[in-house]
Amino acid sequence: MILISDSTLRDGNHAIRHQLTAAQIYDYARAADEAGIDIVEVGHGNGLGGSSCQLGQTPIDDRTMLETAREALKNSRLGVHFIPGLGKSADITLALECGVDVVRVATHCTEANVSRRFIEQTRAAGKTAYGVLMMSHMAEPEVLLAQARLMQSYGAQAVILMDSAGYSTPSLVRSKVSCLTNGLDITVGFHAHNNLGLAVANSLVALEEGARLIDACLKGFGAGAGNTQLETLVAVMEREGYASATTFERVLALAGRSDAFLSPKTPHIHAANIASGLYGLFSGYVPHIQKAAQEFGVAEFELYKRLADRRLVAGQEDIIVEEASRLAHERDTTQALSA
C-alpha cells in the first residue's frame, strides 16, 4: 500500500505567498479527508516558524492553521514540515499540542545530524517522525544513504528524498531511491518538483525502486513550477497497479470540490523555473533572483549560473543580492576599461 502525503496546504502556500486562509485550510482538509488522503500537510511554505518578513508572512499563525486542519480531519493524519534553525523545539511542542500526527524534520541533504533532537522529541511524544533530505540532487547516492541512516538511527520512521530544485531526471531518481531502499530498514519516500516537467515520471520511478510514500499536490499547486500533480499521480498509480487508500475517482471529486474555495491553477513551467531546475537551485528562489537581476540591471540567467556555481541552498537569499552586485560591478568595470 502506497502512502500519499498531500502538501497542497503547505507547499501550495508558496505559490500564493503563504496567504491561505483558515476557511481554505478547513474546507480543503475536510475534502481531502473524505477523499481518503493518508496525510494532509499544513502550514507556511517553509514549515513551522516560517512566517517572517524575509520569507513571507501568513495571515494566520501556526496554531490557528493546525487547529483548523485538526478540526477538519477525521481519518487523515495531520502533518507538518519542520526545518531546524528556521523552526525551534517550541514550534514542535506547539504542533503536538494542536494534534499533529506526523512531523517531517527536513535538513539539507548533507546535514542530517541537526535533525536528531527534533526526531527524538517527536518520537518521545508518541508521534510519527519522518526525516527529509532537501536538495537531494546535490549529493551522491552513497552520501544520501549515510545521511538517511543517521535519521533512521535517531528514530525516523521514514526518510523522504526531496528534489527541491526540480533538477532530477528518472535515472538520478532511480539510482538514489534504490540505494536507500536497499540500505534502510524504514520506509523511503519521494517529493518531486516539476521544473523539468518530470515530477510524475520521477515519482513513478521512485515507486518502481521501492519508495512507498509519495508527496503530491492538487493540480500541482506548489512552489515554483509546482509539484507532482495528485490527480495524475493517482491515475498513473492505478494503471501501474499501485494500491493506495484513495482512488482516481475520489481524487477527481476532491479537485472538483476544491475549485469552489481553493481553485489552484496548474503552474505553467516558465523559463525561469526551467532554469532553476536545470541549474539545481531551490524553486522558491526564482522571484528573489528576478528582483535582484532587475535592481542591479544584470542578466537573470547569468545570475542563475553564478548561484549554481556557488551551490546555493535554501536560506541563503542574501547571497543572491551579493552575486547580483558582483555581476553589476564586473559589467561596470568592463565597460569602463573599454571606454
Mark the ranges of the chain whose per-residue pLDDT is less than 50.
none
- The beta-strand segments (E) located in 165-319 are 187-191, 213-216
Q: What is the pLDDT of residue 316?
A: 78
Q: CATH 3.20.20.70 region(s) of the chain?
A: 3-258
Q: What is the pLDDT of residue 287?
A: 85
Q: What is the pLDDT of residue 311?
A: 82
Q: How far apart are CA 109 and CA 133, in angstroms?
A: 4
Q: Catalytic residue positions?
A: 14
Q: How far, rounded to the nearest angstrom, does the alpha carbon of residue 242 sit from its chain's CA centroid?
A: 23
Q: What is the pLDDT of residue 3?
A: 98
Q: How far apart are CA 330 and CA 303, in angstroms?
A: 13
Q: What is the pLDDT of residue 145?
A: 98
For the chain, what is the total number of helices (H) and then of strands (E)? 14, 8
* Residue count of the chain: 339
Other beta carbons within 10 Å of 163: 33
Q: What is the pLDDT of residue 267?
A: 66
Query: Tens digit of pLDDT for each residue in 221-241?
Result: 998 889 999 999 999 999 999
C-alpha cell at 275: 532554469
Q: What is the pLDDT of residue 224?
A: 83
Domain 3-258 in CATH: superfamily?
A: Aldolase class I (3.20.20.70)
Q: How far apart are CA 246 and CA 3, in angstroms?
A: 10
Taking the chain, what is the end-to-end CA distance rounded to the nearest angstrom?
Answer: 68
Q: What is the pLDDT of residue 84?
A: 97
| CA distances (Å), origin 106, targets 13, 35, 118, 247 | 17, 27, 10, 29
Q: How far apart are CA 196 and CA 283, in angstroms?
A: 11
- Class of the 271-338 domain? mainly alpha
Q: CATH 1.10.8.60 region(s) of the chain?
A: 271-338
